[in-house]
Structure formats: C-alpha cells, structure tokens
Structure 1
Amino acid sequence: MTRDARSSLDASFSAFSCWFFVMLTRPDRLTRLRRTIGAPHNKCAAQYNCVRFEEQVLSIEPTAPTVTRGRTLALVVILLATFIDLIGVTVLNVILPSIQTDLDASPAQLQWMQAGYTLVLAVGIVSGARLGDMLGHKRVFIAGMAGFAASSALCALSVGPEMLVGGRVVQGLFAALVIPQVLSQIQIMYASNERGGPMAAYSSLSGLAATLGPVLGPLLLKSDLAGSGWRMAFWVNVPLGLFVVVASWKLLPESRATHAARIDVPGVILASVGLVLVLYPLIDSAGKTPWPAWTYGSILAGVAVLVGFVFYERRVGSRGGSPLVEMSLFRFRSVQGGLLLQLLFFVPAMGFFLVFMLFLQNGIGMSPMRAGLTMLPWSVAVPVFATLSAAVLLPRIGRMTAQIGLVVMAIGFAMVALAAGGATPATDWTDMFWGVLVGGAGMGMLVAPLMQLTLTDVPIEFAGSGSALYNTVTQLAASIGVAVIGTVFFTELKGVGQTSAELADGYGSAMATSLWLGVGLLAVAFASSFLLPRGPVAAPAPDVEVVNA
C-alpha cells in the first residue's frame, strides 16, 4: 500500500472514529438521533407503561432501570455480540474469492454461504424473540452466543464448501436467538427516558460494521496465523463469543415476558419450505442456460406453499393466535409501500456487495486489501448520510428523503456500471471511487428513515409486530438479493476466457449487467415510495407520559 493510500485510510478512519465517539459519548445527540431513527419504539413507550417486543408485554417499570450496577459493562457486552453478528456478513463478502479458490466452491455454493445465513435469520428472528420471552432473555442470549461461537469454529474447520454452507446456516440459526435479546436487554436495563443513548449506539453498530468489515476481512486474511488464511475470519469469533458468554452470565439480568406468545411452528415450517423451494433453483441455476425444467416446477411449488402460508397466518391471526407474521399490518398503506420499497432496495444492495468483491478480485486482479479499500467510501458514506437524513431531512421533507436516496443510489450504481463495463486489467479503484461514494450516500439517506416511514400508519398496539416484520423483510431481501443478482452475474460470466484482458472484460460486463438490473429495481422502488406518507414526519416527544397498560 502506498503512503498516500495509508494516509487516506487513516484519515477516513479518524473521521469516522470521531463521529462514532461523539455519538456514543454525547447523550443529547444520541437522543435526538434516536427520536428519529427509533420512532416506533419511542412511540410505543409514549403511551404504554410497558416495553413491547413482538406482541408481548414485559412488566418493567420505565421510570427506573431494573439494573443499575454494571449496566454500562453489560451494554458493551451485548453490543459486542451484535457487532460480531453484523461484521461477519461484511467480512465474508471480501474473503469469498479466497474461499472460492481454496475450497473450489461453485457459484451456487458461494451464494448459499451468504443466503443460507440471512434466510435462516429472516425466518427465525421472530421465534428467537418469543423463545426469549418464554425461557428468559439472558438464558436464550447466552445459549445463542455459545452456539454462534461453536458454529464459527465449524465454519473455520470446513474441509469443503458444503460444510461451510452448513456452518453458515447454523450460524444464522443462533444469530436469530441472539439479536432479539439485545433490544430486550437494553429495555430491561434502562428506563424509558434513558434509552436514547444505548439505542442510538445499537443503531450505529451497522455503520461501524460496514466500515470496518471491508478492511478487517483482508487484515485477517493477510495475518494467516498458523496458515489459517480465510479461516481466521471465523476463528476470531470463538474467543470473542466465549468472552461474551462468560461476561453475560455475570452481568446481564434475567427476565421474561409475563404473557409470552407461542412459537408458530407450522408458520415457520411453511415459510422455510416455501422460500427454499423458490431460492434453491434460482441459486443452483447460476451460470446455467437454459434452466433445467425442474427449476420452474420448484419455483411454482414454492409460490404455492407461500400462498398457503399467507392463508394460514391470516387464519391464526383471526382466531386470536400468535402468527409468525401479523397479516393485518398489510392493510396499512405505509406498510404496503414501505415493505415493497425495502424489498426492491435491499435486493440490489445486498447483491451488489457480493458481486462487486468478485469483480474486483477475480476480474481485475485486485488484492483483498485493495478491494476492501475500494469499498471503503461506500461504508463511510452510509452512516454519515444516515445521520444527516434522519436528523435533518426526514423531519422537514418526509418521504422525499427516501426518494432522494433512491435517486442518488441509482446514480451511484450507474456510475459504477459505466466504469465496470469498460474494465481492463488497468482499471483501478480511482475509476470507481465517485460511483461507490455516491451509491453509499444514497443508501445512507434511505436506510435511516425507512423504518419510521414504513410504520407511520401502524397503531401503537402493533408497533412491536411492525418492527419485527420490517427486520424480517430486511433479512429476506438480503437472501433474495444474493440469489437474484448473483444468478444474473454468474450467468453473464458463462464462457469467459482466462486471460487477464478476457477476465476483466467478462467480469466487467457481468458487473455492469447486474448493476443495470439494480437501477431498474430502484426505479420500481421509487414508484412504490408514493405509497408512503407525504409531508414531514415528526419525531416523537422525548418525554413519555406513563399510563397503565
């Protein structure tokens, strides 16, 4: 790495570190940000003397925290667990080309290494929350973190791509136990008027993981401790996970919901089977033309199962049960538009992260470190513009914030597509810098206000279910994005030559095609944005009125 590149990297990290430190240590700024980003939670707390997660009520007195001693250390521990879960996805994107070479993985297997994790997380996160309500949040959190550490070791020990895919699926399962308990623990340890700082710190972790992941991945790869190579990205989770387990046992309070909902086992099975029947043929057919006849039958069967899932969930809800998905939420206009926009936006975004790293490393021959640094402008732009849009734009222009973000992101995609379409072995990060930066800015402007815009029309009693549905769709979109964008990318690569010029041209063409598809999806997302509420979206009041539920 040149001295200028090191200086640029140091400056980027210094700027972001200063921003994150200020956000973490200034409760007033955290509270203002949380009022905008986390409106559904505050909105619920404003009218109920309770903490809502899903449909359950935790009997916690909001005027005083349940835990006072050691809660800052406990907060650090649960945030570390969240960070480990989040950064695993961004690190894996950078090291996938190395995994492909070492394990001789097929395109479909590479896609399943990401999609398997997010798919299980999407289906399991609601059930994970309910397990915490039933068995105790501390107990489920510790079990989930121990399982995540063990499954990380399984991934690190993989002798073939099939074993690594299986390890990633198990990781997603245990992550679905961990993530819901983090929010529950914050709500238990902090009174309602104290949660602004911890919740904003939690919200900031995704930006921190996105920033560090593209650089941490190559550093772990380059360290090659004991000849571990890419496996170090998984080994590092083991001691960190064990530390979280031990510290959580000492520091976290135990709690459970007073009225815990049952786990919707039939709903989980129907959703899982339907999604696998749809996604498996899409991923398996990557690079194959024409598609085998069975793929169409599988997709049709999957759609039929998912239709059955919808009818089953509606019946469970109408009978007063606890469905996996609260179907009555879809009667609200903001939910319809917001979830459709979210799906159409996250599909190209998540697919981009996968194929861009393959293009940079396999196509134009960048090292993992150089590829990670090429992605750094995007990673830094997301949290910066997310803060700007949530704190400044959303309260003033409402849904136009999301619409501007979509347009800016589409422009960024187009800029990168034009650069990739003419790629040669001499193509460098400077050719894509502005496109990557603009794309990240657009994503940042969109991700921060989207949840609040989506749940604007949702009544208080459905706030928890709405938040859970939003998070589920996010993970589902990630799986679909890897499947759809990855399949288009690998299909375009079919028959590419092996000289450096042919690789650059072939990978560049595949990258451009994938991005133009992404631009089209963002255009459809823009149309769906008109279903969102127009005008400014007011942030909830910082002081809550306590009334009995």
Structure 2
Amino acid sequence: MNEPVPLTKRQQNLALVTLIVAVVLEIVDLTIVNTALPAITSGLNASAEAIQWTIAGYALSFALLLMAGGRLGDSLGYRRVFLWGVAGFTLASVACGLAQTPEQLVLSRLAQGACGAIMSPQALALMQVLFTPLERVSKLALFGLVGGLAAIAGPILGGLLIQLDLFGLGWRLIFLINLPIGLFALASGWFFLPDRKSSHPAGFDLLGVLVFGMAVFCLLWPLTRAENGWGVAEIGALLLVAPLLFVVWRHVSARVRARQPALFDPSLLSILPFRLGLGISVAFAAANAGFLLIFAFALQSERGESPLTTGLLHMPYGLGAMIGIAVLGRNFLPRYGKWVLVLGGLTLMVAGAGVLLGIGWLGLSKAALAPLLIVSGLGMGSLSGSIAPVSVAQVDRDHAGAASGMMKTAQQVGGALGIALAGSVYFVWGQGAGVPPSTAAIAVIASLLAITVVFAARLPGNLFAAKPASAAH
C-alpha cells in the first residue's frame, strides 16, 4: 500500500472530492444537531436522557467501532468498506429524519455513529493509496481546512434549515439532507475510488470492543438517568465500570503477549506524554462537547434566540478556534511546549465561563458575547491543535497508527462523557439551583478543563527534544 495507484490527475481529483464529501458528511452531522435540540425536544416530546443520548450515542458508537472500522478496510478493501459505510450512514440519516419517537431517533443516531466509524478510516487509507507521501501533505492540509469549515458550518446550516422549515419538515431536514449528499458520494465512490486493500490485514479484537463498550455504557447510562433519580440498576452499573475496565486490560494484555490483534497496545501507556495525552484528550473533549451543548441549548431555551441566530453565534467561536489551531498552536508549540496547552485550557475555562454567565445570569447582548466567544475559540484551538503532536512526540513511528487510533477513540469517548455530565447538570440539577441552568453547568465544564490543565502541566518540559520511545512488549 506504499505505492500510489497509477491514476490520471483528473481521476485523483475526482476521488479526492468523493472523500472530502464523505468527511464533510460525517463532521457536519456531528455538529449540526446542537442547534436542533430544542426543536427535537418539543417535536418528539423527548426527555433529557433522550436528548443527551441523541448526541452522546453518536459519539459513543463512533468511538467503539473506529479501530474495528480501520481493520475491516484492511481485510475487505477500502473502497468496498467505504461504500458500505456511506450507504449505512445515509440510511441511518433517513431513519433519523423519519423518527416518530425519541427511542427511534436515539437508535438511528447510534447506527449513524457506527456507520461513520466504518466510513471514516477508509478516507485516510485511500489517501495513502491515491497519493505519494509528498502529495499527501497538501491534500491532508486541505482535509483539515475543510473539516474545520464543516464543523463551523454545521450549526449554521442546522439553524438555517430549521428556520426555513421547507415542506414543513422542521428539524427533520437536518438529517434528510444527507440523502442526496450520500447518494452522490456512493455514485462517485463507485466510479472513482480505486479497489485496494492491505497486503497484511491485522484483524480486530471483537471481544475487547464489546467489553470496553459495556464499561463505557455503564458509566454514561447512569449519568443520563439523573432526571429520574438513581436506583439499584444505576448504582450497580457504576460499580461495574472498574471491574469491566480491569477485564479489558487483562484481555488486551494477553492478546498482545500472544501476538494477536488487540483493542489497543497497553505498552504505549508506558510512555508518559502519551499516557497524559490520552487523559488530556478525554477531559478536553468532554469539556468542549459539554460547552457546545449548553451554549446551543441555553441560547434558545433561556434567551429565546432562533436556531439560525444560535448557529451564527457559533462563528466567532469557530473563527477563534481556527486561529488557535493554525497560528498559535503551530507557531508557539515548538518553542513553549506544554505551556501552550496549559494557557489554552485556562483561557477556555475563563472565557467559556464568561460566555455561559453572559447567556444566563448576566444577560449580555450578542455583540458582547462575540469577543468572549472568539477568546474561548482561541483557547480551544490552542489545545485542540496541540494535543496530538504533544501526545505522540515520544511515540516511535512504528506505533503511530495504533497511537492515533487510541487518541481518536479517547476523544470520542470524552465527547460522549461530556454530553452526559454537562447535560445532567443542565437538565436536572441546574433547574433547581436558583440560578440559570447554563450558570450551574459552568462547574462541570470548568472542572473538566481544570483536569486538562493539571495533566498538561505534568507533561515533560523537553517533549520534542527527547528521542521517541519504542513501546516495550
């Protein structure tokens, strides 16, 4: 798979457009839902638990199947598995748009996340098939730019579609719009993507995925049940988390010793920056996902803003994030190392709290919220763009693929955890706190960012000077 498939420039560009469309489809669908949550709540008479699972379920199923999706492509062919993923994602999107109950919507979102996990890894694998290493630099930069713009466009598009209310479909259109886009990606992928698979497929660890999934579910489910109070089942689920994680550790350690495919490589956790990087990824992703959930919901439910206005108010945050990633992280990380992450976390903590206070308690105008959102985005971008290079700075290149898979899984699990934690505080405890729910939610988001800052401060000072460590088996 090291040599690119011999295609004309036109064929390569058409294949690249196909992959970009799929990436946009996945990223937009992750962010477009936030602005539609109040409309979904009223349209389906959904509970707080169902609303949290509408977002967290997507991230959770995506996280659990991401590494398995990559292995499927290695074994069965990247083009074939990519088309399966796109087809499944499109059908799941239609099911979301046609859902008549909250339960149907949550199940359809779980299916969307699972199909996204099957589709997403094939895009990067096909990039290796299509282009030489030098060509990939500019193409992957384009992927990053398009991905960032798609994340910003998602809430705006969601607000616009709800505002237009075409054919009386309301919030359903944010999912149904994926049908023509998905059909285009399927047709384009069928004609333009090369049929290729790995010459050394590694297989995957199904039992490890299932047990790890049970552990994460036992953690998230009680948090989303706070609205109804905790009983024996919820407490029992929480008590099962640690034993299940211990079983996962023993299981993957045994499979690695036996040289069998494993969910992750435990030896990577012996590398301090990588171990701390995973912790930073989980805590930061949880804080960011929680902040964006509360931000979008509070603007509409506490301030009465329209979905379109809510979507447009995501733009200053996105602008700050892009500057943080492209300028601050890139220029200052090599020089200042871990302190870029520390400062980014503190900035997001303070400015993010100011945004949520401004929405609820202080009642700031939209013009006053905009600069706070830009500063919040700067902190977010400084962190987001720095976590990956810092985490893998001392990881040997032979383990780059495994480390990347673990990082992406940690980010998605963190996002699901943040939705459950922040959502529970907002929808349940915040209602009786004597302050606006958005103000009550600040505590959990600030706590997650404080954990991020503590982990970042513990990183070594000579991250990029030290020789990469080879994970010991």
**TM-score of the aligned structures, taking structure 1 as reference length:** 0.82
Contact 2:360 2:438 in 1 (8 A): yes
Which letter does structure 2 place at the counterpart of 1:484?
A: L
Aligned to 2:7: 67
**Per-residue Cα deviation, 1:227-271 (whole angstroms, up to 9, x for no partner):** 111111011101100100010111011111111111211111101
**Per-residue Cα deviation, 1:292-350 (whole angstroms, up to 9, x for no partner):** 23211111113321221111111111111110111111000111111111111111110
Aligned to 1:198: 139
Distance 1:417 1:163 in 2: 31
Aligned to 1:9: none
Aligned to 1:222: 163
| Residue 530 of structure 1 pairs with residue 461 of structure 2 | no
117-126 vs 65-74, which deviates more? 65-74
Aligned to 1:245: 186
Structure 1 residues 536 and 493: alpha-carbon distance in aligned structure 2, compared to 1, 3 A threshold: closer
**Per-residue Cα deviation, 1:50-69 (whole angstroms, up to 9, x for no partner):** xxxxxxxxx322xx654334
Contact 1:68 1:189 in 2 (8 A): no
Distance 1:67 1:405 in 2: 43
Contact 2:316 2:370 in 1 (8 A): yes
Q: Of the candidates 357, 382, 390, which is equivalent to residue 296 of structure 2?
A: 357
Contact 1:397 1:536 in 2 (8 A): no
Matches within 5 A, 1:297-316: 297-316=236-255
Contact 2:290 2:421 in 1 (8 A): yes
Q: Of the candidates 152, 161, 175, which is equivalent to residue 211 of structure 1?
A: 152
Percentage of pairs with the same residue: 31
Q: Of the candidates 88, 91, 103, which is equivalent to residue 44 of structure 2?
A: 103
Which letter does structure 2 place at the counterpart of 1:492?
A: W
Distance 2:72 2:371 in 1: 45
Aligned to 1:149: 90
Aligned to 1:422: 361
Distance 1:248 1:417 in 2: 43
Which letter does structure 2 place at the counterpart of 1:440?
A: G
**TM-score of the aligned structures, taking structure 2 as reference length:** 0.95
Matches within 5 A, 1:144-543: 144-285=85-226, 287-289=227-229, 291-423=230-362, 427-494=364-431, 509-535=436-462, 537=464
Distance 2:396 2:163 in 1: 51
Contact 1:278 1:299 in 2 (8 A): yes
Aligned to 1:81: 22
Structure 1 residues 300 and 205: alpha-carbon distance in aligned structure 2, compared to 1, 3 A threshold: farther
Distance 1:199 1:270 in 2: 34
Distance 2:356 2:180 in 1: 41
Distance 1:514 1:67 in 2: 53
Which letter does structure 1 place at the counterpart of 2:223?
A: L
- 2:447 partner SS: helix
Instruction: Provide structure 1 residue ranges, at least 5 long, that are not aligned to the other structure.
Output: 1-58, 497-505, 541-549
Distance 1:455 1:495 in 2: 44
The count of residues paired between Structure 1 and Structure 2 equals: 466
**Per-residue Cα deviation, 1:369-409 (whole angstroms, up to 9, x for no partner):** 11122222101211122001343112222222212211211
Deviating beyond 4 angstroms after TM superposition, the runs of 4 or more aligned structure 1 residues are none
Contact 1:413 1:439 in 2 (8 A): yes
Contact 1:111 1:482 in 2 (8 A): yes
**Per-residue Cα deviation, 1:13-56 (whole angstroms, up to 9, x for no partner):** xxxxxxxxxxxxxxxxxxxxxxxxxxxxxxxxxxxxxxxxxxxx
